[in-house]
Structure 1
Amino acid sequence: MEALQYPIGRFEVLPHYSAAMVIGYIHDIRQLPTLIEIAVQHLDEFQLETPYRPGGWTLAQVVHHLADSHINAITRFKLALTEDNPVIKPYDQDAWVKLADVQYTPINVSITLLHALHMRWANLMDRLPDEAWDRTFVHPEQGRSFNLKTQAANYAWHGKHHLAHIMNLKASMNW
């Protein structure tokens, strides 16, 4: 079950992130919407409503979750850039994927949102001065501060994590 839930492994915070690593994370974030779009483009409604693992979200819920999560991510980035170590607001991602907008909105709407959001986010990150990457926010559920380098790494991982959910289900179902 662990391999189905975390197909690329769990995210691990590193003690240091080099400039080259950060550039790679920005690239990953920039490319994610296109990779998601390609991954789901030929799936039908039945396939999109299939959970990627027993007890997991459907592929449609995964796509909508990425939009929700990454809206929160860019907001957290901007809060950290404009406030001193702000406390961010967590949200219940499992409750969010059960809301009516996820159930009744086609995934292409969230994919379009991801394209626009990730362009703005990557453009922001591309232009951050070096010292800005050390700015932080507090995640109250974890009780500690995280810098923006760690968050770029986390969200680059997050996109690959959910892309792997989609790709692995497609492979296992021979879609």
Structure 2
Amino acid sequence: MTNQELEKLKYPIGQFECPNNISKENIEAWISILEHFPDRLEKLVKGLSNEQLDTVYRPDGWTVRQVVHHISDSHHHSYTRFKWSLTEEKPLIKAYFEDRWAELADSKTAPIQMSLDHIRVIHHKLVYFLKTLSEEDLNKSFVHPEINSEVRLNFNIGNYAWHSNHHYAHIENLMKRKGWF
């Protein structure tokens, strides 16, 4: 497998590219992605066998099961980061080792339904919350220790809409390659 092929498997929709000027339309579109993502994801993975769930989406990648559990963990962290940013002045957030989390027993063996349910709930809460934010709120930020810079909330909405579609594409592309549709 060439480096270019591996990169396409790793970033099937490319990396997140945020517009320089984030418009109200961008925010609305990103929130819509977050709002509909739980249904899209559940429809995509519904009916997959344990063998299929335990298939990696790329060489040295996670299994479908690990991806679903990762989305749940990651989006839960994101929700918390939004709340911190609106209740503290530029909080330094706690990063986590997502690769290590993906190796824990729940990520590797637990039924995906628990994470699908959690994604549904956390997205419902997140979307409701995001729709209430003012432009001033959207310009608040947190500090991410891994990149040692501020992350504005309006950017983070787009980043998590991208993150949703990014992992959806990992699973969907695997399913197409394997003929699971």
How does the TM-score come out when normalised to structure 1?
A: 0.98
Runs of 4+ in 1 over 6 A off after TM superposition: none
Q: Counterpart of 1:3? A: 8
Which runs of 5 or more structure 1 residues have no equivalent in the other structure?
none
Q: Counterpart of 2:175? A: 170
Q: Counterpart of 2:57? A: 52
Q: Counterpart of 1:75? A: 80
Q: Counterpart of 1:102? A: 107
Residue type of the partner of 1:156? A
Mapping 1:1-175, distance limit 5 Å = 1-175=6-180
User: CA RMSD of the aligned region, Å?
Assistant: 0.8
Query: 2: distance between equivalents of 1:125 and 1:72?
Result: 15
Query: 1: distance between equivalents of 2:89 and 2:17?
Result: 25
- For residue 101 of structure 1, report the CA deviation from its aligned partner: 1.6
- The percentage of aligned residue pairs carrying the same residue is 41
Residue type of the partner of 2:134? P
- Please give the secondary structure, in 1, of the residue aligned with 2:55: coil
Residue type of the partner of 1:62? V
Q: Counterpart of 2:3? A: none
